[in-house]
Amino acid sequence: MQTQQYDAVVIGGGPGGYPAAIRLAQLGVKTLCVEREYWGGVCLNVGCIPSKALITAGKKFDELKHLDVVGISVPSGATLDMGKLQAWKGSVVHKLTSGVSTLLKANKADQLVGEASVPAPGKVVVKTPDGNEVHIEAKHIVIATGSRPIQIPGFNFADERVMDSTKALALDFVPERLVVIGGGYIGLELGSMLQKVGCKVTVVEAQDQVLPGFDPDVVKVIARQLKKNGIDVLLKAKALGWEEGENGALVNIETAAGVQRIPADRILVTVGRRPNSESFKDLGLTMERGHIVVDKQLKTNIPGIYAIGDVATGVMLAHKATHEGEIVAEVIAGHKAFNDARTVPAVVFTDPEIATAGLQEPEAKALGYTLKIGKMPWAANGRALTTLETDGFVKVIVDAKNDRVLGVTIVGPHASDLISEAALAIEMDAEALDIGLTIHPHPTLGEAVMEAAKHALGEAVHIVNR
């Protein structure tokens, strides 16, 4: 049996793995990328991209109901063809995933489809779909195996009525009634999308607010919108299980008032994700709650083995994985590189959108900072008024000692696009005045970031200063 020789093997072709393999090849490192299921990983295939495609469609469908205020009407009412929507979503996914293989090939990174295991440092065995085994030796091994949805007792994803995010994204019909277990970002994104196209949605959350960990000011905006849209939210509630009733499922929910039985056609479980690290436990890697512990160079406790993305310690976000993939490539190539980013921005594609960079206000207070807070409501922004999206605000959190920007929180239109300016400000250790003195074009949503920074300093001109 012949053993293949590589300088580096990347296990996983998702948003962390494939950029790592591409960058390694660019740096002259002989690299193999192994993927067991689909190039682009969960994000491109059954996560970030398809969910945003459906969310966009849902939002556009809903907007048609509210355009009479500007003189636009759809007399016969809009209709939705879920089959066509799924076909369009699939075309978007195909364009991006096929591009991954093209990029790997163009950069001369080898590809192999199969299930990889690491029997020992420097050794990789790949079981291919045809049942064969490929044995590989490599000085460097990068584990980029991602994560999967957590399944809870009483709700088996194998049951037709019970869905994880993957099954929800493949729906070719709109359920009449949906129960969402878990009020985090995935549950609210998908639940809100389905509500917009005609589904009755109930969200069950164990904590005392949806979106646990987010600024309560943000949660108030989202909770108000959920209520306005007719989405029922049960807080401090626990899903016990479900049973088949005469007209669909009956979901048993334990609340302070007792057990409620909520009818549903489908049940979406979104209580979090767990890292795909089990197959590496016998290597002796140091782990925390299933995540492989890494240092600032993405090195594990075993020389020659690295971990990036969801399977490694840190936040579980695709852009964090991509950044780590590029850093680990530089490290393996012998460059002096470290993962020393000041912030990993986060985005929630609810309606309105949420985005954060750096510290949120409660986090900064908990760390003992004395703060200056600038807040610009979208209702005072000209561009927001012209787009009919005025819910929410931009909040700039500033260290009162030196006026350094500690964080920016945005809830409102295009928050996902606006947050990059905030992330750059934090990476550059900018002061609020740096944002405030930067001329922003008018009329734009970006002006709200500038105005909020000025507001923190008491220099705003389009909102009353504190």
Specify if 123 maps to a domain.
yes
Q: Is the peptide bond before 212 cis (omega within 30 degrees of 0)?
A: no
Q: Judge if 262 and 401 occupy the same domain.
A: no
pLDDT at 466: 82
Q: Judge if 442 and 383 occupy the same domain.
A: yes
Cα(384)–Cα(443) distance, rounded to whole angstroms? 9
Taking only the tens place, the pLDDT of each residue in 236-273 is: 999 999 999 999 999 999 999 999 999 999 999 999 99
DSSP 355-381: EEEE--HHHHHHTT--EEEEEEEGGG-
Tokens of 16: 């962390």
Domain that holds residue 183: 162-269
How many domains, the chain? 3
Cα(165)–Cα(187) distance, rounded to whole angstroms? 8
Taking only the tens place, the pLDDT of each residue in 174-219 is: 999 999 999 999 999 999 999 999 999 999 999 999 999 999 999 9
Q: Judge if 350 and 299 occupy the same domain.
A: no
Q: Judge if 28 and 87 occupy the same domain.
A: yes
Q: Judge if 52 and 13 occupy the same domain.
A: yes
Q: Judge if 393 and 358 occupy the same domain.
A: yes
Q: Judge if 210 and 108 occupy the same domain.
A: no
Q: Judge if 326 and 282 occupy the same domain.
A: yes
Q: Judge if 32 and 136 occupy the same domain.
A: yes
Taking only the tens place, the pLDDT of each residue in 94-116 is: 999 999 999 999 999 999 999 99
- Average of per-residue pLDDT across 330-337: 98
Taking only the tens place, the pLDDT of each residue in 115-128 is: 999 999 999 999 99
Specify if 100 maps to a domain.
yes
pLDDT confidence of 141, banded at 50, 70, 90? Answer: very high
pLDDT exceeds cutoff 90 at 449: yes
As annotated, the active-site residues are 442
Taking only the tens place, the pLDDT of each residue in 13-70 is: 999 999 999 999 999 999 999 999 999 999 999 999 999 999 999 999 999 999 999 9
pLDDT at 1: 65
Name the average pLDDT for the chain.
Answer: 97
Nearest to 38 by CA among 92, 93, 109, 91: 93
Question: What backbone phi and psi angles, to 5 degrees, belong to 359?
Answer: -85, 140
Q: Judge if 85 and 200 occupy the same domain.
A: no
Cα(307)–Cα(294) distance, rounded to whole angstroms? 7
Q: Judge if 60 and 138 occupy the same domain.
A: yes
